[in-house]
Amino acid sequence: MTAGREYPTRPIVGIGIVALRRPGHVLLVRRGRAPNAGAWSLPGGTQELGETAEDCARRELREETGLEANALHLCAAADSIHRDPDGRVRFHYTILDYCTLIGDGAVATAADDAAELTWAAFDALDTFDLWREVRRAIDAARQLLPL
């Protein structure tokens, strides 16, 4: 839901999760809501008041995919700023990306605002038209959590 997030007075904290699985896959979700509805991205969402960033990462991964995160590592930060035709800031998210390894037997299911999901092979990422900052977070996660 975007109510209260459009035309903010300050950035909103978003948390993304780079979930890696052997032999060389990353979990991608197709966004079900604005901004970027229909685009492939990482699981994630907005941090709630009183919630730590790591707790948010765990909650968002669970809500969108049904998966439980193992150890989390902060791997990237980015700003997503969307302007309207008049140049006013319509959305502004400061995004912290965490990474985790997911066990081979874990089953992911799209839920919440994830319209669908896939385990994408690293060598097939170009087919998903990912935002450059998502690619940067995946690359950072691969350095931190070599498979």
Would you please indicate which residues are annotated as catalytic (active-site) residues? 116
Given a contact cutoff of 8 angstroms between Cβ atoms, the answer to whether 95 and 79 are in contact is: yes
Given a contact cutoff of 8 angstroms between Cβ atoms, the answer to whether 145 and 101 are in contact is: yes
Within 13 Å, how many C-alpha atoms sit on residue 90's CB side? 10
**The Cα angle at residue 100 between residues 11 and 45, in degrees rounded to 5:** 30
